[in-house]
Amino acid sequence: MIETPVLVLPGRRARNDGAVRLGALAVLWLSLLLVSYWWVAGGGVQELGGWATGLTSLGRLTGLVAAVLLLAQVVLMARVPMLEAAFGQDRLARIHRLVGFTSFNLMLAHLVTITWGYAAGELGRTPAMLWDLTVDYPGMLLAVGGTVCLCVTVVTSIKAARRRIRYESWHLLHLYAYLGVGLALPHQLWTGQEFLSSTGRTVFWWTAWAVAAATILVYRVGVPIWRNVRHGLRVTAVVPEADRVVSVYVAGRRLDRLRAEAGQFFHWRFLGRPGWTRANPYSLSAAPDGRGLRITVQEAGDGSAALRAVRPGTRVFVEGPYGRLSPRARTERKIALIGAGVGITPLRALAEGLSYAPRDAILVQRYTDEPLFSSEFQALRHQRGLDLLTVPGHRRRPDSWLGPGVDGLDDLQALLLWIPDIAERDVYLCGPDNWTQLVKHTLDAAGLPPERLHLETFKW
């Protein structure tokens, strides 16, 4: 028997999330304004009047701003629960990408302009000056190593390169960003004029570095280890769901204290098998009940393909829960769940875990060969009043997210025929990237406010 959650619409959590978003952005902008003010107060503007001094001054400014943004990058990658809950994975990924490329470009500008300025503005002397700075200044060799690490991270984050790299390899290379930022620390704090010229500046920078380091040690190392020791997760069963799709059931101790919600995801490691050191993000495919967890995975890489051979009793190490594709994001009484393929898994958990009255929730399931969780959705239809709409078959056109059964209607007309009040609902969306973008375009055309569309993709 499926339990019916108590209907609780958002209130305090929504206000708290809004306050966190405002506060986080305010801290970032105030930090940028503060270091810019210190640069101005130190004569940075006046020094722009000369060629060599202007290059050096511009190098200091770009270095200061790059340092703030690099530290912001570290905090964004630390998976701080408060930020994860307030922003959501997709929004954090966009901010992460913007801040990351901006900080990297400013770091390169700092390297070029400061070296050129120290070479008295003479381009021909710049390579020799770069060599002298590297070998003679404290911490500069470490800074060069840090720059190389950051270059690796940025290059592998470019979309063209990202598509050619397995997720497991990309995730491992992405961790070099931590090493890159860490290696830059001695250079900045030992020799940077803007870091040492007053007690206030020294306190600010050491505090900023300490906070960034603490978020990594606490939320990427300490909390995951503590949670896994406390809960002792183990595989209880591996069940085939469809061709190349399996569900993995996991149990442990006191899972009610894990505070996971339907729709969220974890980073999973199944110990004792090849490749266990590489984590993979999988969403929960059933609402957490305090006794066990379930994920449903389609074979798409080495990690997912190996799950079919995982044995009951295998130890599991998880990081999470993460994500805002959950009841936390909800703002309206009525909801629509739209998913395709294995992207239906978090929506299956939401269909069970969200509170709704009969007929207030509709699930649109797009599939090619056979639908996942057919019997489970039927049970939710009978017991909870979930409306079901299946869209089978191959997509009718590359520019359409629908199947062949709606000839004569475009995507918008079909959506409004099925869900006339779609613009008045919260919509949870999950599926392949290209398909998801087509659905998003249709939802925009239907008048759905952006804040009521909830989707997440694993881009980190």
Whether 423 and 449 map to the same domain: the answer is yes
- Together in a domain, 119 and 259: no
Distance CA 333, CA 356 (A): 7
CA dihedral 428, 431, 432, 434 (to 10 degrees): -40
Tens-digit pLDDT profile for residues 54-65: 998 998 899 899
pLDDT at 153: 73
Which strand (E) or helix (H) includes residue 335? strand 335-340
290 & 429 share domain = no
**pLDDT top residue among 186 and 277:** 277
Do the beta carbons of residue 437 and residue 350 sit within 8 Å?
Answer: no
For 246-262, the pLDDT digits (tens) are 999 999 999 999 989 99
Same domain, 249 and 197: no
Cα 78 versus chain centre, distance:
10
Specify whether 255 is located in the same domain as 291: yes
Give the separation between CA 328 and CA 13, rounded to whole angstroms.
7
By the 8 A CB rule, do 432 and 341 touch? yes
Q: Does residue 48 sit within a domain? A: yes
* Backbone φ, ψ for residue 433 (5° rounding): -55, -50
Q: Is the pLDDT of residue 460 over 50?
A: no
Could you identify the residue written with the tokens 């769901």? Answer: 241
Query: Phi and psi for 319 in degrees, rounded to 5?
Result: -120, 130
298 and 169, same domain (yes or no) = no
**Among the listed residues 60, 34, 35, 37, the one whose alpha carbon sits nearest the alpha carbon of residue 47:** 60
Q: Indicate if the pLDDT at residue 7 is higher than 60.
A: no
Q: What percent of the chain has pLDDT over 70?
A: 86
Identify whether the C-beta of residue 343 lies closer than 8 Å to the C-beta of residue 365.
Answer: no
Whether residue 4 is contained in a domain is answered as no
Task: Let me know whether 141 and 33 are in one domain.
Answer: yes
- The answer to whether residues 191 and 237 belong to one domain is no
Residue 311 lies in a domain: yes
Peptide bond into 432 cis (omega under 30): no
CATH number reported for the structural domain that contains residue 375 in this entry: 3.40.50.80
DSSP-derived pairing of the beta strands 361-366 and 335-340: parallel
- State yes or no: pLDDT of 78 exceeds 50: yes
Structural domains counted in the chain: 3
Mean pLDDT of the chain, nearest integer: 86
Q: Is the pLDDT of residue 299 over 90?
A: no
65 lies in the same domain as 159? yes
Query: What is the C-alpha to C-alpha distance for residues 319 and 312, in angstroms, rounded to an integer?
Result: 20
Distance between CA atoms of 342 and 116, rounded to whole angstroms?
53
Last residue of a domain, one of 208, 227, 246: 227
Indicate whether 79 and 132 sit together in one domain. yes
Q: Within 10 A of 434 (CB to CB), how many other CB atoms are there?
A: 10
pLDDT tens-digit readout, 124-147: 888 888 777 777 776 676 777 777
173 found inside a domain: yes
* 365 shares its domain with 279: no
pLDDT at residue 404 greater than cutoff 90 = no
Residue with tokens 């206000």: 15
Asked whether residue 316 falls in the same domain as residue 334, the answer is no
Indicate whether 206 belongs to any domain: yes
Answer whether residue 136 is part of any domain: yes
Say how many CA atoms lie within 13 Å of 332 toward its Cβ: 19
Q: Is residue 161 part of a domain?
A: yes
234 neighbors 250 (Cβ within 8 angstroms)? yes
The string of DSSP letters for 72-118 reads HHHHHHTT-HHHHHHH-HHHHHHHHHHHHHHHHHHHHHHHHHHHHHH
pLDDT for the residue numbered 89: 77
The yes-or-no verdict on residue 439 having pLDDT over 80 is yes
CATH number at residue 291: 2.40.30.10
Confidence of residue 161 (pLDDT cuts 50, 70, 90): low
CB contact at 8 A, 351 and 344: no
CB 361 within 8 A of CB 337: yes
Q: Residue 173, Cα to own-chain centre: how many angstroms?
A: 16
Measure the N-to-C terminal CA separation of the chain; round to a whole number of Å: 37
User: Residue 108's pLDDT is what?
Assistant: 87
Q: Is the pLDDT of residue 95 over 60?
A: yes
Q: Other C-beta atoms within 10 Å of 34: how many?
A: 15
The tens digit of pLDDT for each residue in 188-237 reads 666 666 666 788 888 898 899 899 999 999 999 999 999 999 999 999 99
**Residue at 7 is within a domain:** no
Q: Of 227, 255, 277, which residue is a domain's last?
A: 227
Q: Which of 178, 212, 227 represents a domain boundary (last residue)?
A: 227
What number of other Cβ atoms are within 10 A of residue 144's Cβ?
18
Q: What is the pLDDT of residue 407?
A: 73
Q: Which domain range does residue 431 map to?
A: 328-455
How sure is the predictor about 381, in pLDDT bands with cuts at 50, 70 and 90?
Answer: very high
| pLDDT at residue 303, as a whole number | 65
Q: Is the dihedral of CA 186, 190, 194, 200 positive or negative?
A: positive
CA dihedral 362, 366, 372, 373 (to 10 degrees): 10
